[in-house]
Structure 1
């Protein structure tokens, strides 16, 4: 990712640069960016303050530590990729000891919660997504430069109060760090790149229109790349040898299964002619399909691009599973796709036609169809733990059904899967390929902790939930309120702070979620495209300026229209279907709030609580449940 800094160089170069030249370079840089607002006088004053303070401080640090200033690096207004768009970090300092200091300046007497969160977020963004910052020792500072500033406490950010143009805490830490030995080449840092996973929506747009898979420099992203390469090679082998394969790809929530599936479909389409390969991504999650289709339509029009010299039609390569199923039930010859990705295949139905007692399962139907083709690859993306629909199989049931379905083809289909599933096959002997086990989440480093918090909340373990909430507080705010307007104001203030000065933070999304059986709240986003109301595709995809956007806060998605999708910040209206009574969460006694099976309620809340990429705000009207959520570590808005 081509990102720049307003001014960067060695400390020696900074100590020699003229103030007017320095300020003019920052002004020119600011004008060159396509995402910044018009420069305000306050910003120029801030740069002048930073220049004076940093020049005095770095000169003092060099003398006291006896450091060669050519071995240290400083970058002002370093572009970085935050949640939902670009922003610029005020000052980055890189030392030959392998220390990185990310410093935010505020000409204020008091820092807001959101400003502290941004300072920490900038530091964590560098350490996690900047290729040359990964592995460095990070230090976050927020410097308040106005006289009489008020100190704050934070686990990840040091509060620095400027005193007579000096920053004593930062100065002392720089000197201490530089007295250690080290041989890190700071020039390497200046050449680093950002690799940050976007949302599934913007990832889809990049995959189809920018011809690349978004990825991080982590073991998780390497796993995805390896899995995609393995699928592409398998497809070419199947095509050359006229073979048929069914491949199980396993991954926990957030491991990148959907992104893997979409990017592989795009790669097959790009490498072969579409008519030769007929690749398609299928999902039984109709809302996800609508959103992905709208993503391609919306961004295709904005970017004015195509694939293979033709306009992208999202309905061709991304389709509702039920349409595909309807066609092959009628005739195997009606569909000629040779590379098919079945997303969330663990949700496959035990009967392709639920009302027909003699109906085969969906997996049997798909295997029968694949067996009739001259060649092809069927990819089954599977996870576990979020069943919310009737007729869905659990993962264990699905695997047993797959065992039976492949066996019924009498050798016409070869199964490939990770060893954790291969060992459970009783009727077939699949090929074991652990490259198809996506073990690590690629969303954020604290995803596993968020999952632990959700499980603790749902299992009535407030003590564990509180401990986990505390451990991710600096990265992932968990907030609770009894006011819809306060929740919305929190969201708007967070977006404005994270993207201060950004005139087009189009990727930031925040909106309301609600339980389908939780009782009345606001209008439900319409997942049935034939009914009037807010449309689910535009609700997720279109920017905050659109009347159809989720950021308007006038309609909410239920668990049926948000599974597999994410928001930057999730606002969730806790319903009347799950309330805290007598020391535990209990299901509603009123049948209007009960689901067909009790475990569907827990599965629904597990989905709803995990949709936020960067935070969660719960609105809870019930006083006992509200107190329970506070005891689970949520802070009151």
Structure 2
């Protein structure tokens, strides 16, 4: 093998070559590759699985070549590691002329949904992120080594026994090649650029590595949005002015990623050793997770600590002239600031007064989410930014998308740009309709949600509902077995009172001890990792963050009754609209998944109608 091939996979060659290779030589190549990829020796169970796969393919591929001679010229690749995704290795990939076959072998006689979704995700990610696989036919195959049954297709995956494999392979590949055959060396060397998770993206930024650009990210206009913000900052500095720029977008559209990259690129800027920009968030868990991942408290800071230092009657001035405030629509109103910091100005007014005290240029960037206000004092939204501008002494220029320009009647100047509106979700791979589905579900439009759910599944985003929590846990553990970078964990609403009875400890006295940094960042075998499926993150600990596959506990704080969502009365609540905060909390919980999510509904009579509503809205039963 060439060096590129050796680094990319365990073994590759023509099927005719494979049929002549000695098992011990082939096996040693796979062991060596595993050691390089995982920095550890392959264990006995892995070696047994490899040997079983070898023996099956030696017999079945020989039969396939007898049936059709050109099969021997196809390329077979073992243990190809998806770059940047440590531990994700399809068992076998076959490059058959202009077609790609992705095979996953499982030592079972029965079908497990987790195995179907695992091989389906391999095929999906190759299709979208692997440059050598774009515009190629890709078929995911699940080979059940203990099965003797006939082939079948489920959720787009062809499931077969070893004995049916020769017929299946040749049925999927035309004898006549309609497009340019795949060059195996070019395929192995092709770029693979998945969208990084928010935490991984921050690490990449901080390590001076370029963020991977994928077609999906570029179509969401993230580079153009950052360029627009750069231009606005230059305008503010050149004219020594005060500017407010607002970037809007649905959950998962990449607002936080835009803010992080913009701050990073301007962190030192051309001002020498002085910091030019800072990323601020009132989302304590997000701050902790990013600081933990970056091993630095400077790049990302808590907004309340920032304003405690510089706001109100303080006379301190920050070094930075660019302040990026994540989830700025959740800024505290005057009453909340009075309660927490002892003065009667809202956070937007506090920021703008600080800007005017700077006696220099400033750019305030607000990243605006939609429908995610979940704390008391966060319900005033965008309007209080306009009220803050009205109370200022200096003229302010507002930059915003066209659709919210009418809010800012107090601005001296308004410059609209729809580059500041991120409308396509990145968090959910290509599932553009996830946010629409969540919206329709929480509006109570169950039939409309069901129609959207089908489009979501067709794009490779998986949504399950179950009344057995152990089934959901088994599913994620099976699906991500050996994929060390993958993250799954338990999420739940903080107000659900019945979930603790079913093993989801979401009560305040328990969740207050959650250490968000290790929970999101630690390896799967760490006791503090989310993947242990023990500790629970509520809406407050997961907002702005993500998991590959969350398990969401749906509790008795939001129930389906008489064709609408209802929440229990909260007579002591100080919220303007407690029911809306419940809906927003579930909007957050249902928007955290990258590959999909599962919802656990406790098997209680009071939850029956809620479970049925979720099934009717398009969830598959696990």
TM, length-normalised to structure 1: 0.83
- Indicate yes or no: 2:592 matched with 1:588: no
Tell me the secondary structure at the aligned position of residue 93 of structure 2: strand
Determine the structure 1 residue equivalent to 2:368: 382
- Indicate yes or no: 2:584 matched with 1:603: yes
- Indicate yes or no: 2:82 matched with 1:75: no
Sort the Cα spacing of 1:392 and 1:592 in 2 relative to 1 into closer, same or farther, 3 A.
closer
Determine the structure 2 residue equivalent to 1:535: 515
Contact 2:337 2:347 in 1 (8 A): no
**Per-residue Cα deviation, 1:22-55 (whole angstroms, up to 9, x for no partner):** 4443333233322563352331231343344345
Contact 1:574 1:618 in 2 (8 A): yes
Determine the structure 2 residue equivalent to 1:325: 307
- Pairwise CA distance, 1:331: 2.8
- Indicate yes or no: 2:124 matched with 1:143: no
Determine the structure 2 residue equivalent to 1:245: 243
List aligned pairs for 1:61-210, cutoff 5 A. Answer: 61=68, 63=70, 69=73, 73-80=75-82, 85-95=86-96, 97=98, 99-146=99-146, 148-149=148-149, 151-163=151-163, 166-174=165-173, 176=174, 178-183=175-180, 186=183, 188-209=186-207
Distance (Å, rounded) in 1 between the aligned partners of 2:23 and 2:67: 18
User: Which of the numbers 260, 267, 279 marks the counterpart of 2:277?
Assistant: 279
**Per-residue Cα deviation, 1:282-339 (whole angstroms, up to 9, x for no partner):** 1122222222222323xxxxxxxxxxxxxxx32x222221122222223354322122
Distance (Å, rounded) in 2 between the aligned partners of 1:222 and 1:465: 24
Tell me the secondary structure at the aligned position of residue 91 of structure 2: strand
Count of residue pairs the alignment pairs up: 600
Distance (Å, rounded) in 2 between the aligned partners of 1:54 and 1:339: 62
Contact 2:280 2:325 in 1 (8 A): yes
Contact 1:50 1:105 in 2 (8 A): no
Distance (Å, rounded) in 1 between the aligned partners of 2:406 and 2:186: 46
Distance (Å, rounded) in 2 between the aligned partners of 1:236 and 1:75: 51
Distance (Å, rounded) in 2 between the aligned partners of 1:434 and 1:227: 9
List aligned pairs for 1:485-524, cutoff 5 A. Answer: 486-487=470-471, 490-500=472-482, 505-516=484-495, 518=497, 521=500, 522-524=504-506
Determine the structure 2 residue equivalent to 1:309: none
Distance (Å, rounded) in 1 between the aligned partners of 2:192 and 2:236: 36
Sort the Cα spacing of 1:231 and 1:15 in 2 relative to 1 into closer, same or farther, 3 A.
farther
Tell me the secondary structure at the aligned position of residue 32 of structure 2: helix
Distance (Å, rounded) in 1 between the aligned partners of 2:135 and 2:405: 36
Determine the structure 2 residue equivalent to 1:303: none
Tell me the secondary structure at the aligned position of residue 245 of structure 1: strand
Distance (Å, rounded) in 2 between the aligned partners of 1:5 and 1:381: 41
Residue range with higher mean Cα deviation, 203-212 or 322-331: 203-212
Distance (Å, rounded) in 2 between the aligned partners of 1:578 and 1:442: 27
User: Which of the numbers 60, 66, 91 marks the counterpart of 1:53?
Assistant: 60
TM, length-normalised to structure 2: 0.84
Determine the structure 2 residue equivalent to 1:453: 437
Distance (Å, rounded) in 2 between the aligned partners of 1:518 and 1:347: 26
Tell me the secondary structure at the aligned position of residue 214 of structure 2: coil
Which structure 1 segments of 5+ residues have no match?
298-312
- Pairwise CA distance, 1:397: 2.2
Which structure 2 segments of 5+ residues have no match?
none
Sort the Cα spacing of 1:425 and 1:518 in 2 relative to 1 into closer, same or farther, 3 A.
same
- Pairwise CA distance, 1:557: 2.5
Contact 1:517 1:577 in 2 (8 A): yes
Tell me the secondary structure at the aligned position of residue 536 of structure 2: strand
Sort the Cα spacing of 1:534 and 1:445 in 2 relative to 1 into closer, same or farther, 3 A.
closer
**Per-residue Cα deviation, 1:61-92 (whole angstroms, up to 9, x for no partner):** 4548xx9x4xx65432211269x743111222
- Pairwise CA distance, 1:126: 0.7
**Per-residue Cα deviation, 1:208-255 (whole angstroms, up to 9, x for no partner):** 235333443325467222333443455466556645433222221111
- Pairwise CA distance, 1:171: 0.9
Q: CA RMSD in A?
A: 3.6
- Indicate yes or no: 2:545 matched with 1:545: no
